[in-house]
């Protein structure tokens, strides 16, 4: 009797059909969001437009743009403008990533490092998606701890922008991979359990998880595996 309606740890009930629809739409939009990201990264590398965004200036532009877009996405997620705003955000994130991509491409094995980071990120997503589908217990309580961890990492990353410590970057990158891999599991489980019913919000959450894991993997690969000409 209850196989099509699942009780939520978040309150209320959502039908299995609705949950599957949200998951399907989220996966499609997540795949689509990668195109503007790649385009943004390509534009940034080709034009060098982000090369001047170093230190505090780069931090202000990134945080201002990212939080501005996320606010706009939240305001438009239930309207026809929601998807274009989200795709605009992913283009912006690709543009902001281009500075690191350009640095990695400066290594002799830069292309291989980028492909390895992409493969590693895809592997993490596959593992977390599998775990989300087999874990039956409610993990909604993880949310507050993951949020605290993300805030701590953000402040650590901001401090390291001015300190410029390689050891600090390594520590932060490892922490980012751990926290946002767990966030990936949490966000996927929310969709599967019906805790997230808006596919634009769901896509935004998973995109940020993937973006952060990829960026952190790429940073670590650049530090440990970059081969100079």
Q: Between these two residues, 108 and 36, which has the higher pLDDT value?
A: 36
Q: CB of 225 within 8 A of CB of 113?
A: yes
Q: CB of 85 within 8 A of CB of 134?
A: no
Q: What are the residues facing 14 on neighbouring strands?
A: 6
Q: What are the residues facing 13 on neighbouring strands?
A: 7
Distance between CA atoms of 31 and 29, rounded to whole angstroms?
Answer: 5
Instruction: Calculate the alpha carbon distances from 141 to 136, 153, 192 in Å.
Output: 14, 20, 16
Whether the predicted pLDDT of 136 surpasses 50: yes
pLDDT in the model for residue 10: 46
Distance between CA atoms of 134 and 4, rounded to whole angstroms?
Answer: 17
The pair of three-digit structure tokens given for residue 29, joined into one six-digit string: 């939009």
Distance between CA atoms of 19 and 38, rounded to whole angstroms?
Answer: 29
- For the chain, give every domain's residue range: 14-225
Distance between CA atoms of 43 and 94, rounded to whole angstroms?
Answer: 9
3-state secondary structure of 79: coil
Supply angle C-alpha 99, 105, 111, rounded to 5: 125
Q: CB of 216 within 8 A of CB of 176?
A: yes
202-212 pLDDT, tens digit per residue, is 999 999 999 99
What mean pLDDT is predicted for residues 167-172?
91
28-72 pLDDT, tens digit per residue, is 999 999 999 999 999 999 998 877 777 677 778 888 999 999 999
pLDDT in the model for residue 200: 95
Who contacts 127 (Cβ-Cβ below 8 Å, separation ≥6)?
none
227 backbone φψ class: left, alpha, beta (φ>0; ψ -120 to 50) = beta
Lowest-confidence segment of 48-52, 123-127, 183-187 by average pLDDT: 48-52
What percentage of the chain reaches a pLDDT higher than 90?
60
Whether the predicted pLDDT of 2 surpasses 50: no
Q: Any idea which residue has 């505090």 for tokens?
A: 56
């Amino acid at each position: 009797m209850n196989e099509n309606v699942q009780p939520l740890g978040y309150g209320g009930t959502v039908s299995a059909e609705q949950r599957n629809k949200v998951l399907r739409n989220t996966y499609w939009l997540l795949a689509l969001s990668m195109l503007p990201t790649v385009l943004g990264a390509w534009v940034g590398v080709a034009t060098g437009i982000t090369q001047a965004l170093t230190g505090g200036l780069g931090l202000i532009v990134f945080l201002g743009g990212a939080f501005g877009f996320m606010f706009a996405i939240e305001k438009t997620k239930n309207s026809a403008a929601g998807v274009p705003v989200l795709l605009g955000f992913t283009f912006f994130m690709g543009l902001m990533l281009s500075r690191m991509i350009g640095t990695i491409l400066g290594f002799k094995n830069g292309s291989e490092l980028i492909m390895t980071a992409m493969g590693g990120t895809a592997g993490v997503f596959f593992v977390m998606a599998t775990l989300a589908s087999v874990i039956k217990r409610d993990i909604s309580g993880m949310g507050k701890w993951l949020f605290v961890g993300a805030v701590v990492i953000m402040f650590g990353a901001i401090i390291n922008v001015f300190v410029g410590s390689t050891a600090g970057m390594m520590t932060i990158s490892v922490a980012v991979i751990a926290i946002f891999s767990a966030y990936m599991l949490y966000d996927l489980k929310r969709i599967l359990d019906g805790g997230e019913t808006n596919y634009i919000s769901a896509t935004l959450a998973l995109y940020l998880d993937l973006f952060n894991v990829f960026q952190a993997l790429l940073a670590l690969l650049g530090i440990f595996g970059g081969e100079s000409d």
